[in-house]
């Protein structure tokens, strides 16, 4: 369903954003 697709897109975007933002913080 479109909800699943939207959820996956948001999850992937959030995960990437969190990873990208956490890397500089770790360093």
Question: What residue segments make up the domains of the chain, in order of their start?
Answer: 1-27
pLDDT for res 15? 84
Residue in the structure block whose two tokens are 């939207």: 6
Q: How is residue 7 written in tokens?
A: 């959820």
Q: Is the pLDDT of residue 24 over 60?
A: yes
Say whether pTM exceeds 0.75: no
| Residue 6 DSSP code | H
Confidence of residue 6 (pLDDT cuts 50, 70, 90): confident
Confidence of residue 26 (pLDDT cuts 50, 70, 90): low
Confidence of residue 14 (pLDDT cuts 50, 70, 90): confident
Q: From residue 25, give the alpha-carbon distance in Å to each of 15, 18, 21.
A: 15, 11, 7
Q: What are phi and psi of 12, to 5 degrees?
A: -65, -40
Provide the sign of the torsion angle of the four alpha carbons 12, 16, 19, 21, taken in this order. negative
């Amino acid at each position: 369903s479109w909800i699943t697709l939207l959820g996956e897109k948001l999850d992937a975007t959030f995960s990437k954003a969190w990873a990208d933002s956490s890397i500089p913080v770790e360093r």
